[in-house]
Amino acid sequence: MTALPEWMRPPRPEGWYAEDLDRLPEAPRHTELIDGALVFMMSPQRNWHGRVVTALTNTLVAQAPDGFEPEREMTVRLDSRNRPEPDLVVVTAPFRSDRTWFAPQDVRLVVEVVSPESAHRDRTVKLRKYAEAGIPHYWLVEEEDERPVVHAYELDPSTSAYAPVGIFRGTLERPLPFPVLVYLDGLVRGR
């Protein structure tokens, strides 16, 4: 059995804290912190996933009004023990070149594009954690016959849980977090 590299050992018995991620230069890209444990995205990224994230980012950038900034692959510091890295966020925080994470109060929308290795976390764990942190909108993008399908959720403030607001195929049109229209089948070229 191969010994773990020293940098992978938690600095304290209770595990890792959100600020520890900024002090782990050896960690692979796309390392997340969930409940004090490091989560690595070790599988190669699928072509479909990359195209959907890029096209959706470009679409939201083109439609976002002043004050809303779509950002790719930036962590959100939900609390001291959770710092997931969504595929895409829309934030209201001003640009800072040295920023490594966003606070939940600055996040208006989280988008997770489901991959086989992240499916359980995206559909259950992150859905609950983003809601508990007060993030108002969550989109879960699934692959169906090589086309994107968006499951859109909105935060119900009375329960601090997400309520589904629709499953979108072909076209996604939503008034919040800003008016947006996405031709979903166009996100993957050649369709």
Say whether pLDDT at 115 is over 50: yes
User: What would the mean pLDDT of 52-59 be, rounded to a whole number?
Assistant: 94
Domain membership flag for residue 120: yes
Cβ proximity of 33 and 21 under 8 Å: yes
Q: What is the pLDDT of residue 41?
A: 66
Distance from C-alpha of 158 to C-alpha of 6, rounded to nearest angstrom? 45
Reply yes or no on whether the pLDDT at 42 is more than 60.
no
**Chain segment 63-107, per-residue pLDDT in tens:** 999 999 999 989 999 999 999 999 999 999 999 999 999 999 999
With 80 as the cut, is the pLDDT of residue 126 above it? yes
Gap between the Cα atoms of 24 and 3, Å rounded: 18
Q: Please, which pLDDT band fits residue 44 given cuts at 50, 70 and 90?
A: low
Cβ count near 153 (within 10 Å): 21
Strand partners, 153: 138, 164
Answer yes or no: is 98 within a domain: yes
The verdict on residue 101 lying in a domain is yes
Q: Has residue 191 got a pLDDT over 50? A: no
What's the pTM?
Answer: 0.88
Task: Confirm whether 9 is domain-assigned.
Answer: no
Rounded to an integer, what distance in angstroms lies between the CA atom of residue 54 and that of residue 87?
Answer: 9
Other C-beta atoms within 10 Å of 1: how many? Answer: 3
What's the mean pLDDT in 4-30? 78
- The number of distinct structural domains making up the chain is 1
CATH number of the domain where residue 135 is located: 3.90.1570.10
